[in-house]
Amino acid sequence: MGRRQDTKKREAPKASSKKKDATGGYGKTERLSADALGFQIRTGPDAPSKTGASMDIEVSEIVVFAGKQELLYNATLRLAQGHKYGLIGRNGVGKSTLLRAMAERDGRVPIPQHFMIMHVEQEIKGDDTAVLQSVLQADQEREWLLKVEQELLEKEDDGSGQEPKVGGVGLMEVYERLEELGNDDAEARAAVILAGLGFSGEDQQRPTREFSGGWRMRIALAQSLFVQPDLLLLDEPTNHLDVHAVTWLEEFLKTWEKTVVVVSHDRCFLNNTTSNTVFLHRKRLWYYGGNYETLFPSSSKGKSEPCKFLVLVVRSVLLARRLLQVANLKQFIQRFGQGHKKMAKQASLRPWAYCPLMTRIGRVQALCYTLLLLLAAVTLKELPGLGPGTLRRGEMSRAPRLLRIRPVLALTSVAAAPLVVRRFDRSFARCENRAEQSLDQFLKSSKAQQWIELNSDKSQSCLVNTDSVDWIETAAGGVRRKMIERLGGEVARATTVVNFQPNASFPAHVHRGGEEFLVLQGDWYDDWATQPAYTYVRNYIGSKHTPRIGPKGCTILVKLCQMSEQHKEPDHSQWDISESNTNWRVCSSISGRRLLNVFESPLEEVHFERWQPNQSGDVDIPETGEEVFVIEGSFADELGEHRTWSWSRNAGDKQRLKRTSGPQGCLLYVKSRHLRSPEVDIAAMQTPASS
């Protein structure tokens, strides 16, 4: 009897504890924290504030281990809001481990707390919950608010006149937060997602335990898409999807406005869904603009995968040898250029060897090393059924004769390399003049239409003084240009200084990616108006004009394909930035500095600055960086001397720079916010069009 009483006494606290856990603390009036609730709060006063907080991610000095193996060391994770990244790399380098470290928030990858992260890696556990209901329950905050609403509606008024609260939350706050979470159409959104992933209306009402692991993996994917996190991490999402579900997921992610990181071996899926590529190599993260196809072109030109690998190896070898020989030449010139008469004469002749040297190395050794690598591949790896490590000790005597002498073949090939190089060097020496094609001829050739990347990495700061850049004649007569920044092929995101001959005219064309330009000299005419010097012009995506040049010619700074369809603008806008504009205002923080604001949107901001001669001051740089073009005069800062018509990009790594204007002062074009803002898809525009 006494034993039963002791049992009841021990069971009573357990029962009360279960009751408290079941209610989740609803009876309390104080507000519950995210740790007490068990989920990340996205709405209400307790949610991490996103006001003024950047939705871009940049985490440096990342170190990740898998057991005792170091997978990442001193790596930097850099994700821009709304961009979709394909994370690629060899098997076993740590791609999935990196996604797991980002999702677990255990300190290895410290992502800010205001980010909601969902990681699709494992299938859900099967139980009696219907498929549709399991997707709805994935939004834990919504489910908790619905339970609080139900308890508040059942709660009787105590007559105190105070609003009843559960967990510190009143009924009005519940309704506001449910509206913010999209509760009215939640069930419809979940049903659409499930239908796209292959679940019929009948399947959506079946218990999850009736489905196989592959289908439960689809449910896990549907849960993440339904919650709409700020950062979505997908690890091999197409492994359990059929063709129709993959196609639907591709189209769904194209309209997804949040940041996505995808790890997948499906190259077609990466090409159709990602806009940037992150390459995990040698424990670092390397960033490239464009999808997988942009970084590793397909074999449409007839190159097999082994051949492309060999070409990559050859290029690496040639680059190393080229840099070494050029360094030796420079060292010889520096050492003997002012010394003994005979040695000085040899040193004076060495600079003329630079260009032929490049031609010889590039043409001769490319052929030689390619042949040697192919021979090594055939003799060492490509024999049928016999790869590296196939033979065991004692089996060499039974191996084919060619296999037994394959080390001899490889060593002979390497020993013969110098003889082959000298032989081909004499043969190709006669072709050096033809090989050294000038840059303007190259740009007129068909090769000029290939993809060009020049100062295109918007995460890197750089300075280009155009007075040291040669004018390049274009295929269009009477037009020459100085390329500053370029990313693309026939159609490109570009920043260029362009000079037009007097009285030139051009056919009508459409701005497929938008255009903005600044008239530096002369007069520009088109359908909209006359734009004299010191006129800033914006022609939005899809606009059209027929330009003509004035009798004195014209020089402009033009920026192409750097606008976004996410923010609509008028087809044409222009501003006068000359001294006659009455909107110039004095800057109170720096003496001798005046500002003229001309354009501002959520994606970019453009203003002009005029500095008096020999003025100095600390300039605040936006966190998202800025671009500066010197219209007239000059100035200096930590990047160097910015002369007239120079262009610079500050990627935002320094929040304050000291600028000092030159003896004639300076007039600056300054653009910000755009370096991390979305732009038109350059890769999708590489088709013939009247642009």
Task: Provide the mean pLDDT of the chain.
Answer: 77
Of the listed ranges 86-95, 314-323, 388-397, the one predicted with least confidence: 388-397
Which structure tokens are listed for 122?
């494992």
The string of pLDDT tens digits covering residues 532-548 is 999 999 999 889 888 99
- In terms of CATH architecture, what is 57-116+229-295? 3-Layer(aba) Sandwich (3.40)
Domain boundaries, the chain: 1-30+128-155+166-210, 57-116+229-295, 305-436, 443-676
Phi, psi of 44 (to 5 degrees): 85, 175
Taking the C-alpha atoms of residue 642 and residue 466, their distance in angstroms, rounded to an integer, is 10
pLDDT reported for residue 564 = 85
Taking the C-alpha atoms of residue 633 and residue 625, their distance in angstroms, rounded to an integer, is 23
* HEC profile of 393-462: CCCHHHCCHHHHCHHHHHHHHHHHHHHHHHHHHHHHHCCHHHHCCCHHHHHHCHHHHCCEEECCCCCCCE
Within 10 Å of residue 554's Cβ, how many Cβ atoms? 24
Chain-centroid distance, C-alpha 399:
51
The string of pLDDT tens digits covering residues 583-620 is 999 988 888 999 999 999 888 999 999 999 999 998 98
The string of pLDDT tens digits covering residues 489-535 is 667 889 999 999 998 888 888 888 899 999 999 999 988 888 999 99
CATH classification code of 443-676: 2.60.120.10
The string of pLDDT tens digits covering residues 19-32 is 344 344 444 467 88
The string of pLDDT tens digits covering residues 216-263 is 889 999 999 999 999 999 998 988 888 888 889 999 999 888 999 999
Taking the C-alpha atoms of residue 65 and residue 94, their distance in angstroms, rounded to an integer, is 9
In 3-state terms the chain splits into helix, strand, coil percentages (rounded to 5) of 35, 25, 35
Which structure tokens are listed for 200?
């019929």
The string of pLDDT tens digits covering residues 8-58 is 333 444 443 333 443 444 444 678 888 888 888 888 888 887 777 888 999
pTM exceeds 0.85, yes or no: no
Question: DSSP string spanning 254-302?
Answer: HT--SEEEEE-S-HHHHHHH-SEEEEEETTEEEEEES-HHHHS--GGGS
Taking the C-alpha atoms of residue 276 and residue 191, their distance in angstroms, rounded to an integer, is 30
